[in-house]
Amino acid sequence: MGSTTEVDYDAIVIGAGFAGLRTLYELRSRGLSVKGFEKGSDVGGTWYWNRYPGARTDSEAWVYIMNISKELNSEWTWSERLPGQAEVQRYLHHIADRFNLRQQFEFNTRIASAEYNSDRNVWTVTTSTGQSYTSTFLITASGPLSSQRRPPFDGLDSFQGKWYQTSSWPKEGVDLVGKRVAVIGTGATGVQVIPIVAHEAESLTVFQRTPNYVIPGRNHSISPELLGEIRRNYDQVWNQARGHVFGLAYSPADRTVADVNEAEHQEVLERGWETGGFRFVFESFDDVLLDPKSNEAMAEFVRNKIRTIVKDKKTAELLSPKYPFLAKRPPLGHFYYEAYNRPNVKLVDISDNPIKELTPKGIRTQSGDEYEFDVIIFAIGFDVATGALTDMDIRGRDHTSLSEKWSKTLETFLGITVPGFPNLFMASGPQSPFANIPVCIDHEVNFIGRAISDLRQHGHTKMEPTEAAALQWATHVEESFKATLLGSSSAKVHSWYVGANVPGKPQNVQFYFGGVGNYFAQIEKEAAAGFPSFEKS
């Protein structure tokens, strides 16, 4: 079995986060020799790097899992509804140790390039220190939200205080007590870090370019009774998440705005707001992404909450988004709006007065106003979906790189494979579902495993999706996005759904918004039919 050319490994996996660990487990259990490479010094991926204060999941613990063993599900004890970074890291460490995955990874090793050799049907992967390894299959598990954007401001090196990025937060040594701190960015990350920093710093100034609709997380500890119930019903919970449009174990609301009167409408939204988390979005009304009236009603409900919570009227207005609800990914907050009632917290609106540069003392905006700080925290987001892949020089059959291939149009088949790149598989790649990621990873990696097994069983050594299949998928991804209210609004608000947060990035829909259930049905159909959209030899 395996390829005819001699290789170091059957498969090389890049990344040791959820996807990398899951992939290594999958391929090893299918009898492949596998080697993993990871830039960080340990497993964890997102949870290794994003250790900023306040980092936690926005998905409930019971669907933020690696569903590979019933014993694992029943022995692991989550302590919180929305577990913090340290707890998720403990979980991933536990998995790495329990399933002996750690020793197959080379840590502190960044992959700089990967090149496919057509004559030999071999991938050669080269590290940043120049060491090369070969394999028949290459699986990237480099993460959709892992390529951090370097602060794009002139004068960064002149700033005499300390600056940090949330996505590469130091393991220790950050002291904010008594400091004048700035946070730039109010996405899901900024929203988590801001209330914590507000408690520690002498003063906190938040620079906001676009406000977000922040939903209360309503985190709580998991009681033994709740844990017992989840453990008893794990299959049901998992199946519910598999069938939910965003991979969460929620039931459909089974109602639209048209089904209720005004009083009932407010009552439903109030109930959702008290329950918190994404349940507010998905268990209130089913038409929020489809009907502008339903969407605006939810948006206005949140704006009213902001007006009620935030005492200063001007600040409340600045915090209130005017664009459609969900046009940007709504963050979950943990006393986020309440933080603006503290006397040491100030909001600076930079929507019409952008940051011009950093100065030795702090931040200067275009209008010439200068703000002085001891510490600046950048929570400015990621080059999503494609970023981690195009950061590496990955070259396929005709030496074209992924970055060149995607310079105009983003094209994958099912978000997992790319024409022109034989035996390359992406776990959680571009154009895969926008959803609770671990649920998606589980099924995508299973698909990858089945594809490789099928190939080998038929005596073939390489597979590559057809251009026609990829084009059809890209069209379907675009159409699914445009069928929602997101299609008309996301680009206007710098949304990373379409890559609009990175200046110069070609604007394409970065994720599949057609729903997790639909997605799984399509990958299942492809696998069950023997992978007919691939050329194999």
Q: Which stretch binds ligand NA7 (CB under 6 A): 185-193, 446-454, 475-483, 506-514?
A: 185-193
Sheet strands (E) in 368-511: 370-372, 375-378, 393-395, 424-426, 463-465
Interacting residue with ligand NA7 among 214, 355, 385, 392 (CB under 6 A): 355
- The only residue of 152, 170, 178, 506 in contact with ligand NA7, by rule CB under 6 A: 152
User: What is the C-alpha separation between 196 and 85, in angstroms, rounded?
Assistant: 14
Dihedral over alpha carbons 391, 397, 398, 399 (to 10 degrees): 30
Is 380 among the residues that bind ligand NA7 (CB under 6 A)? yes
Shortest gap between Cβ of 253 and ligand NA7 (angstroms)? Answer: 23
- Residues between 291 and 330 that touch ligand NA7 (CB under 6 A): 329
Write out the H or E segment, with its range, that includes residue 216: strand 215-216
Q: Is 247 left (phi over 0), alpha (psi -120 to 50) or beta?
A: left
Residue nearest to ligand NA7 (CB): 187
Assess 189 for contact with ligand NA7 (CB under 6 A).
yes
If the CB atoms of residues 34 and 384 are measured against ligand NA7, the closer one turns out to be: 384
Taking CB under 6 A as the criterion, the residue among 20, 44, 143, 187 binding ligand NA7 is: 187
Read off φ and ψ for residue 208, nearest 5 degrees: -115, 120
Q: Is 494 in the site for ligand NA7 (CB under 6 A)?
A: yes
| Residue 259 CB partners (closer than 8 Å, separation 6+) | none
Among 104, 210, 484, 489, interactor with ligand NA7 by CB under 6 A = 210
145 contacts ligand NA7 (rule: CB under 6 A) = yes
Structural contact between residues 125 and 114, judged by C-beta atoms closer than 8 angstroms: yes
Question: Which are the contacts of 502, defined by CB distance < 8 A and separation ≥ 6?
Answer: 149, 383, 387, 496
The helix or strand, by DSSP H or E, that contains position 181, with its residue range, turns out to be strand 180-184
Nearer to ligand NA7, 333 or 465 (CB): 333
Cβ 522 to ligand NA7 shortest distance, Å: 23
With tokens 């990025």, the residue in question is: 165
Q: Is 134 in the site for ligand NA7 (CB under 6 A)?
A: no
Q: Which of 14, 66, 184, 197 binds ligand NA7 (CB under 6 A)?
A: 184
Q: Are 163 and 150 in contact (CB under 8 A)?
A: no
Based on the shown chain and the rule CB under 6 A, indicate whether residue 248 belongs to the binding site for ligand NA7: no
What residues contact residue 71 under an 8 Å CB cut-off, 6+ apart?
A: none
Selected from 62, 496, 497, 531, the binder of ligand NA7 by CB under 6 A is: 496
Q: Where does this chain touch ligand NA7 (CB under 6 A) — which range of 225-233, 292-300, 377-385, 422-430?
A: 377-385
Q: Of the two residues 116 and 434, which places its CB atom closer to ligand NA7 in the complex?
A: 434
Question: Judged by CB under 6 A, which of 17, 53, 84, 185 binds ligand NA7?
Answer: 185
Closest distance to ligand NA7 from the beta carbon of 211 (Å): 8
Neighbours of 313 (CB within 10 A): 9
One of 501, 508, 510, 533 touching ligand NA7 (CB under 6 A):
501
In angstroms, the CA 262 to CA 287 distance is: 16
How many of the chain's residues bind ligand NA7 (CB under 6 A)? 22
In the block, residue with structure tokens 């009681």: 223
Closest to ligand NA7 by CB, 358 or 470: 358
* Residue 326 CB, nearest approach to ligand NA7 (Å): 12
Distance CA 499, CA 382 (A): 9
Residue (of 329, 78, 74) closest to 186 by Cα position: 329
Cβ proximity to ligand NA7: between 68 and 198 the closer is 198
What element of type H or E holds 27? helix 18-29
Shorter beta-carbon distance to ligand NA7: residue 139 or 350: 350
- Other C-beta atoms within 10 Å of 537: how many? 10
Asked if 190 is part of the footprint of ligand NA7 (rule: CB under 6 A), the reply reads: yes
Nearest to 19 by CA among 520, 424, 448: 448
Is 436 a binding residue for ligand NA7 by CB under 6 A? The answer is: no
Binding letters toward ligand NA7, positions 335-354, x by CB under 6 A: ---------------x----
- The C-alpha R_g of the chain, in whole angstroms, comes to 23
Q: Which of 186, 205, 412, 461 binds ligand NA7 (CB under 6 A)?
A: 186
Q: How far apart are CA 303 and CA 297, in angstroms?
A: 10
Cβ proximity to ligand NA7, 27 vs 498, nearer residue: 498
Could you identify the residue written with the tokens 């990955």?
394
- Evaluate whether 418 touches 470 at the Cβ level (below 8 Å): yes
What are the angstrom distances between the C-alpha of 320 and each of 69, 273, 308, 445?
44, 16, 12, 40
Task: By CB under 6 A, name the one of 56, 180, 209, 242 that touches ligand NA7.
Answer: 209
- 505 scored as a contact of ligand NA7 (CB under 6 A): no
Nearer to ligand NA7, 333 or 514 (CB): 333
CB of 329 vs ligand NA7, minimal distance in Å? 4
DSSP code for 154: B
Contact positions vs ligand NA7 (CB under 6 A): 145, 152, 184-190, 207, 209-210, 329, 350, 355, 379-382, 494, 496, 501
